[in-house]
């Protein structure tokens, strides 16, 4: 019985993924390729809960839990806009595109967090800040590199890129490859119909 690296997420439309790629094209050109690792456009998504390496035998209970929680929440819309970094712009490690989300998103994430905690997965609700990861800064980046990232981001603000209607949550498998992660949808749980 093997382990499957999994996470729960909301997927983005291809048109919104393309809009993000267009918005960050200048930033990609201005930063040295060895400084950041960019997330491929088709992999950009909103992570609600990272589960990590899960035994295959645990996938069914996770899917049952996911379906039950999704059925308790109505669909909602999020607006994709802005750019920033975690933990902050002075020490960027993760570059992200921001989101304006209604309270329904936080409620959904909170309920998923509590439900998966009951299955034995660590709670991370306090850390939830809706965002779309676009790049990871290499561990070797020094103070001068961080300064160049900060300056490049300040030169290229990102306005509103569009909205996304969220009507389902997905259990995704992540296969780590040298060329980047490959995501496979293992299970889709629709949100409640109005």
Residues with active-site annotation: 45, 131
DSSP string, 31-65: S-TTTEEEPPGGG-EEEEEEEEEEEGGGHHHHHHH
In order of 48, 68, 71, 114, the CA distances from 118 in angstroms are 16, 13, 18, 6
Q: Would the CA dihedral through 182, 173, 123, 2 be positive or negative?
A: negative
Query: Do residues 85 and 37 lie in contact, with contact meaning Cβ atoms separated by under 8 Å?
Result: no
Query: Do residues 94 and 136 lie in contact, with contact meaning Cβ atoms separated by under 8 Å?
Result: yes
**Rama region for 111: left / alpha / beta (φ>0; ψ in -120 to 50; rest):** alpha
CA distance 36 to 39: 10
CA distance 22 to 44: 13
């Amino acid at each position: 019985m093997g382990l499957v690296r999994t996470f729960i997420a909301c997927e983005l439309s291809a048109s919104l993924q393309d809009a993000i790629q267009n918005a960050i094209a200048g930033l990609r050109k201005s930063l040295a390729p060895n400084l950041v690792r960019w997330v491929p456009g088709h992999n950009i998504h909103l992570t609600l809960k990272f589960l990590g390496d899960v035994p295959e035998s645990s996938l069914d209970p996770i899917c049952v839990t996911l379906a039950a929680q999704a059925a308790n929440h109505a669909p909602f819309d999020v607006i994709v806009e802005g750019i920033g970094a975690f933990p902050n712009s002075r020490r960027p490690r993760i570059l992200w595109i921001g989101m304006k989300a209604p309270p329904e998103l936080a409620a959904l994430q909170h309920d998923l967090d509590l439900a998966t905690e009951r299955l034995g997965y660590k709670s991370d609700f306090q850390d939830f800040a809706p965002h779309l990861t676009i790049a990871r800064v290499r561990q070797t980046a020094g103070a001068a590199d961080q300064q160049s990232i900060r300056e490049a981001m300040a030169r290229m603000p990102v306005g509103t890129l569009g909205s996304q209607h969220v009507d389902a949550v997905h259990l995704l498998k992540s296969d780590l490859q040298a060329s980047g992660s490959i995501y496979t949808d293992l299970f889709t749980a629709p949100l409640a119909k109005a």
